[in-house]
Each structure stands twice: as structure tokens, then as C-alpha cells.
Amino acid sequence: MTSISSGPSANILTPATTLSGTTARSATPAQNPLPPSIILQPPSHFQFPPQYSFPPFFTLQPIASTRSSQLVSWSVYIQSYCRHHRLFSLTLIDALQTPLFYNDQLGRRLGLRDAQAVINWMCGSEGQFRAEWIASTTTGSTAAKLRKGNDDSNTNAVQAEGEGGKCWVFWRRPEEWASVLEEWVERTAQKGTVLTLYEIVESDATMREEFWGMDSELLTRCLAICVKRGKAQIFGGEGSEGVKFF
């Protein structure tokens, strides 16, 4: 892969423009502005942020203040892109070939090392834990994790082995998704009804909900949080789980 040379003076990137059109003044991004739950409209053309057309955006700058602004902008952009396309996880080495990281009109791509640095930043407190590397192996059954209310929060520190690892992108964090699921159950009057995991994320009835198409592993974590809150109970065995909300 061709490496991207450093762009013009780093000062050109300061301040960085976020997707909302506001100025990023520090490394701490604003809270995720999404409402508790929305019904998605039919897919439309994704509007790339202004900095996507700016070549230096695709090379992380060495100056700390400029780099911090870039990381904020990349985090907001990645969340927005994944939300639009209903992407809950990324395999980084594959994502580098997509418009998310590659602007073919400019012939510019965010390099693998820089992309890893962005995800690493999103995994930390400065990035508000908006990403998480996915461990290569998992232990324990889905049903067992759900009943124990295990949200696997300790996996924030897990780094993917080698380059191009897989990661979650939390345009809503698991606890936020848990609240979205609880709101959906309330809104659709399904308290007390046993729902299968398939019905929640793959049925036609939920196709316009934000969580439709969610990876089963992430859904498991979100439901585990509902269980810990005393808002849900899991029935059935591995592969045939059902959940009832209270």
C-alpha cells in the first residue's frame, strides 16, 4: 500500500471542522448527539464531511494540538459513516479499501498505522469509548453470559493481534443500545412478550429500527445490560434464546 506523505503545514488543519460544522477546540469530543431512539428513514446518499476533501486529513499530524483535532474529527466521521450504513463493526484491513478511509477522487487513503491510532484513541476515555477491539476468541456460551449479565466491559483493553484487526464502532455504546431496546419495547407495547434474538435484529418488523442488523455478539452484550438493570430475562438455550422485557 502506498504510504501517504505529510501534507502542508499542520497549522492548516487547526481548527478542524466536525460533521456538525462546529469547530473542534480540544481532544474531548462532544457527547453523542443522537436521540434515545429514532426510526431510520430509507438509505440516502452519505454526506461526507468537508475535511474529507482536504488531503492532509488523511495523514495524522505530529503536532499534539493538531493531531487531537484530527482524532476528534475522525471519530465523529467514523461514527456517522457507520451509523448511516448500519455498520456495527469494522475489519480494519478491509475497511481501508472502502470510501470510509479512501478518497478515490483525491487518491488519498488513511494508512493502516494511522487508522489503528484513530481506533485506539476511540477506545480510550478521550474518545469516549466509541470503539473497542474485538478479541480473536471468546469463551462461554451466549446464554450463560446473558443470564450472568456479563457485559464484557473488561475487553476495552483488548488489542487485536497483528494488523488490520476487527473492532466495534459504538455510534451508540452498549449501555445506550440497551436503553434503545428498552424504549423500543415500551413504544411497541411488547413488555411481557418473549422475543427471539432473530425477531429483534433481523425481522421485517424491526427493519427501520436503528438496531436492525446488529451483530449477535453485540446484541448479547446489550441484552446483558438490560438483564443487569432488572429490565429483562433470558429464556432458552444456546442458539434458541428468547428475551422477555419487564
pLDDT, tens only, 62-100: 999 999 999 999 999 999 999 999 999 999 999 999 999
CATH of domain 46-171: 1.10.10.570
Q: For the chain, give every domain's residue range.
A: 46-171, 172-245
CATH architecture of 172-245: Orthogonal Bundle (1.10)
Q: Give 240's pLDDT tier (boundaries 50, 70, 90).
A: confident
pLDDT, tens only, 7-25: 333 333 333 333 333 333 3
The whole-number average pLDDT for the span 184-191 is: 94
Question: Greater confidence, 118 or 147?
Answer: 118
User: Alpha-carbon distance 107 to 57, whole Å?
Assistant: 12
pLDDT, tens only, 149-181: 545 444 443 444 444 589 999 999 999 999 999
Tell me if domain 46-171 and domain 172-245 are identical in fold: yes
The pLDDT value given to residue 164: 56
**Secondary structure class of 55 (helix, strand, coil):** helix
Nearest Cα to 21, choosing from 97, 66, 82, 76? 76
User: Alpha-carbon distance 149 to 243, whole Å?
Assistant: 13
122, exposed or middle or buried, with CB in 10 Å at 0-12, 13-18, 19+? buried
